[in-house]
């Protein structure tokens, strides 16, 4: 039951999945709202207090979607939610949030990994590119270098896991390119990743699994990837 994990009074942090909120800064990729749980209505809906900024109520719009983190005595929990109602109850302004994904244990430094099958291109960075990444200098990718095709098997806001016939060494820096369908539009992502772990599959000799962490990634791109994961997970739940 939901009440086994979260309780009235628990602190809540809401981060917008779609930044286009009423009265908000559409270019603000770091906006989040702090509030607390008022009541647990059912197994998939809760009441939270309307967020405040200083003494001003923030009227989050109905149908807005958020990533929710709940701070409990047993640790942090995370899920995605949608605002389905807002009203005043017992002199408290509240939002009704519908859970649109399962509540899961959450660690602040981890990102939810979404299983998928996406085409990807990659190559090792050349020395000049590696130096630019290390110095956090503007990165100018060398054009027309050979790339290898592979398949992403899970993706998150922090990195990805992919399969390839090409073996990259742990610690190596990669140029990574793939497309995501977000909000009905296809967008190309060109990112830099560091190889953390490599292993050859026992049942498929010559095929290598790589775990990669994004490096110097813009927050806007990270938020878009998280939005893609949210949209795909919601589609799966509807199925």
Assign a CATH topology to domain 2-106.
Pnp Oxidase; Chain A (2.30.110)
How many Å is the maximal CA-CA distance in the chain? Answer: 66
Q: What is the pLDDT of residue 27?
A: 38
Token pair belonging to 184:
């009905």
pTM confidence score: 0.60
Q: What is the pLDDT of residue 239?
A: 64
- Given CATH 2.40.10.220, say whether it is the number of domain 114-238: yes
Residue extents of the structural domains in the chain: 2-106, 114-238
Distance CA 227, CA 139 (A): 26
* HSE value, Cβ hemisphere, 13 Å, CA-based, for 23: 7
- Length of the chain counted residue by residue: 239
pLDDT in tens, the chain (239 residues): 888 999 999 999 998 876 444 444 433 444 678 899 999 999 999 999 999 887 889 999 999 999 899 988 888 899 999 999 999 988 899 999 999 988 988 765 567 788 999 999 999 999 999 999 888 888 888 889 999 999 999 999 889 999 999 999 999 999 999 999 887 889 999 999 999 999 999 889 999 999 999 998 888 888 889 888 878 877 776 66
Other beta carbons within 10 Å of 165:
11
Q: CA separation (Å) from 93 to 35, 59, 96, 115, 127?
A: 11, 9, 10, 38, 57
Long-range pairs of 74-80 with CB within 8 A, sequence gap ≥ 24: 74/5, 75/105, 75/106, 76/105, 76/106, 76/107, 76/108, 77/5, 77/6, 77/103, 77/104, 77/105, 77/106, 78/103, 78/104, 78/105, 78/106, 78/112, 79/103, 79/104, 80/17, 80/230, 80/233, 80/234
Torsion angle of C-alpha atoms 18, 21, 27, 33, degrees rounded to 10: -90
């Amino acid at each position: 039951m939901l009440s086994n994990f979260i309780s009235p009074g628990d602190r809540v942090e809401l981060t917008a999945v779609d930044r286009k909120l009423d009265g908000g800064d559409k270019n603000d990729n770091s906006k989040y709202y702090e509030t607390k749980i008022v009541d647990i209505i059912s197994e998939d809906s809760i009441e939270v207090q309307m967020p405040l900024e200083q003494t001003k109520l923030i009227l989050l719009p109905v149908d807005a979607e958020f990533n929710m983190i709940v701070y409990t005595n047993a640790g942090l929990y995370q899920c995605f939610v949608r605002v389905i109602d807002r009203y005043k109850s017992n002199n408290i302004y509240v939002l009704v949030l519908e859970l649109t994904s399962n509540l899961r244990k959450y660690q602040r430094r981890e990102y939810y990994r979404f299983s998928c099958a996406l085409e990807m291109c990659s190559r090792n960075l050349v020395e000049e590119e590696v130096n630019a990444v290390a110095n956090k200098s503007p990165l100018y990718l060398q054009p027309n270098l050979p790339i290898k095709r592979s398949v992403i098997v899970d993706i998150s806001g922090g990195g990805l896991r992919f399969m390839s016939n090409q073996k990259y060494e742990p610690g190596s820096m990669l140029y990574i390119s793939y497309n995501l369908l977000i909000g009905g539009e296809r967008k190309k992502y060109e990112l830099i990743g560091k190889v953390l772990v490599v292993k050859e599959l026992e049942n498929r000799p010559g095929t290598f699994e790589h775990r990669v962490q994004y490096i110097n990634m813009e927050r806007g791109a990270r938020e878009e990837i998280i939005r893609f994961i949210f949209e795909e997970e919601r589609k799966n739940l509807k199925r």
